[in-house]
Amino acid sequence: MKTGSFRLLLIIAIIIGVVIRLLVIIPYQPEHGAVLQAAMAKGFMKTGEFTMQYGLIFEFENLNPAPSQHFPPFYPYLIAIHAGTPDFNLDILKSLSLRLAFITTLFIFLLTRKSFGYISALFTTSVWILHAAMIDNASKCLSENLQIITIISFLSLFFQSREKPWMLLPAGFALGLAYLTKSTLPFFGTIFVILIAVIVLCGSNTKLIPWATAGFVAFVAVILPWGFRNYTLFGTFDTSPYIDSTINAFLSHPLYFFTGLAKNALPMFSVIAVPFFLFFSEIRKARISDPGDFLLLFFSMGVFILSLFYATSFYVSEGAFLPVNSMRYSLLTFVPLIWLILKHIDWDTQSAKLRAQVAVYIALCSAISILFIAVIQIDKPLINEMDIALSKKTVSVLNEKEITPPFKVGFIKEINKNDFYYYLFALEKEFGAISDIQLGYIDNLESPEILISSPGVKIPNGYHRYKIVDEIIKPHKTWESQEHVIYLRNDYR
Domain boundaries, the chain: 3-30+90-376, 385-492
For residues 318 and 447, which has the higher predicted lDDT (pLDDT)? 447
pLDDT at residue 357, as a whole number: 92
Residue 476 has pLDDT above 70, yes or no: no
CB atoms within 10 A of CB 60: 15
Q: If you average pLDDT over residues 4-13, what whole number do you get?
A: 88
For residues 306 and 12, which has the higher predicted lDDT (pLDDT)? 12
Task: Report the Cα 232 to chain-centroid distance in Å.
Answer: 26
Residue 239 has pLDDT above 70, yes or no: no
For residues 473 and 159, which has the higher predicted lDDT (pLDDT)? 159
CB atoms within 10 A of CB 417: 22
Q: Which of 11-15, 180-184, 449-453, 466-470 has the highest mean pLDDT?
A: 11-15
Answer for the pair 76, 41: CB distance below 8 angstroms, yes or no: yes
pLDDT at residue 381, as a whole number: 44
The neighbouring-strand residues paired with 463 are 489
Q: Where are the alpha helices (DSSP H) in 253-322?
A: 254-278, 280-283, 291-297, 303-318
Q: Work out the percent of the chain whose per-residue pLDDT is above 70.
A: 82
For residues 241 and 30, which has the higher predicted lDDT (pLDDT)? 30
Residue 17 has pLDDT above 70, yes or no: yes
The neighbouring-strand residues paired with 437 are 407
pLDDT at residue 475, as a whole number: 47
The amino acid present at 108, given as its one-letter code, is I
pLDDT at residue 319, as a whole number: 67
| Torsion angle, alpha carbons of 333, 73, 389, 19, to 10 | -50
pLDDT at residue 382, as a whole number: 47
Lowest mean pLDDT among 161-170, 199-208, 219-228, 250-259: 199-208
For residues 372 and 317, which has the higher predicted lDDT (pLDDT)? 372
Burial, 188: exposed, middle or buried (Cβ in 10 Å; 0-12, 13-18, 19+)? exposed
Buried b (16+ CB within 10 A) or exposed e, 433-448: beeebbbbbbeebeeb
For residues 265 and 183, which has the higher predicted lDDT (pLDDT)? 265
Q: If you average pLDDT over residues 452-476, what whole number do you get?
A: 70
pLDDT at residue 383, as a whole number: 47
Residue 471 has pLDDT above 50, yes or no: no
pLDDT at residue 133, as a whole number: 81
Torsion sign, CA atoms 208, 210, 214, 220: positive
The amino acid present at 300, given as its one-letter code, is S
Q: If you average pLDDT over residues 433-447, what whole number do you get?
A: 79
Lowest mean pLDDT among 42-56, 194-208, 264-278, 334-348: 194-208
pLDDT at residue 201, as a whole number: 65
* Tens-digit pLDDT profile for residues 242-257: 666 666 777 777 787 8
Edge to edge, what strands does the sheet with 407-411 contain? 437-441, 407-411, 450-453, 485-489, 463-465
165: preceding bond cis by omega (within 30 degrees): no
pTM: 0.83
For residues 98 and 240, which has the higher predicted lDDT (pLDDT)? 98
pLDDT at residue 243, as a whole number: 63
Per-chain mean pLDDT for the chain: 80
Q: If you average pLDDT over residues 422-429, what whole number do you get?
A: 84
pLDDT confidence band for 76 (50 / 70 / 90)? very high
CATH class of the 385-492 domain in this structure: alpha beta
pLDDT at residue 393, as a whole number: 83
Q: If you average pLDDT over residues 50-55, what whole number do you get?
A: 78
| Torsion angle, alpha carbons of 162, 164, 169, 170, to 10 | -100
For residues 65 and 282, which has the higher predicted lDDT (pLDDT)? 282
